A and B are shown apart, each in its own frame.
Chain A
Amino acid sequence: MAAIQLCRSHHKVINGMSENKILFNSGSPDELSEEIGKFTSNEESRLKLTPDNADSGLAKLVLTLVDLIRKLVEKQAMRRVDGGSLTEDEIERLGETLMKLEMKMEELKKHFNLTDRDLNLNLGPLGDLM
Chain B
Amino acid sequence: MDQMIYSIVSVKKKQRELNTLLVGMKGVSGADLYAVFCDEITAVVSNIKRTSLVADRSNAMDYARVIETLAQKFTLLPVRFGSVMESTEMIIRMLGRNYDEIQSNLRKVENKVEFGLKVLCDSEKIKAELRAKAEAGTITEPALASQKSIYKDYLYEKLKEHRFEELLLAQIDTIIQDITNHFAHLKPIHKFQKMATTTNIIDDVFLLEKEKKDILIQAVEDLQTQYADLHLLLTGPWPPYNFVDLTIK
Footprint of B on A, CB under 8 Å? 1-2, 4-7, 16-17, 21-27, 31-32, 35, 38-40, 74-75, 78, 81-82, 88, 91-96, 98-99, 125-128
Q: Given known contacts A1-B64, A26-B224, A99-B150, what 6 new A-B pairs fall within 8 Å (CB)?
A: A2-B114, A2-B241, A17-B235, A35-B118, A75-B162, A91-B155
Q: Bin chain B's interface residue count.
A: 35 or more
CB distance from B57 to the nearest CB of A (A): 7
Contact A23/B231 with A2-B242, A5-B64, A95-B151 known, Cβ cut-off 8 Å = no
Is B193 part of the binding interface, using a Cβ–Cβ cutoff of 8 Å?
yes
Contacts of A74 in B (CB 8 A): 158
Residue of B80, B118, B158, B238 near A21 (CB, 8 A) is B238
Question: Complex formed: what's the CA distance from A54 to B12 in Å?
Answer: 52
Contacts of B150 in A (CB 8 A): 95, 99
Question: Complex formed: what's the CA distance from A82 to B153 in Å?
Answer: 15
CB distance from B182 to the nearest CB of A (A): 13
Count of A-B contacts judged by CB separation below 8 Å: 127
Contacts of B224 in A (CB 8 A): 24, 26
Mostly, the B contact residues are mixed
Footprint of A on B, CB under 8 Å? 57, 60-61, 64-65, 68-69, 78, 80-81, 114-116, 118, 120, 142, 144-147, 149-155, 158-159, 162-163, 193, 196-197, 199-200, 203, 205, 213, 216-217, 220-221, 224, 231-236, 238, 241-242
Q: CB distance B144 to A24 under 8 Å? A: no
Contact A22/B233 with A88-B147, A91-B144 known, Cβ cut-off 8 Å = yes
Q: Top 9 closest A-B pairs, CB basis?
A: A95-B151, A95-B155, A78-B162, A24-B234, A127-B196, A27-B231, A96-B151, A6-B68, A23-B234
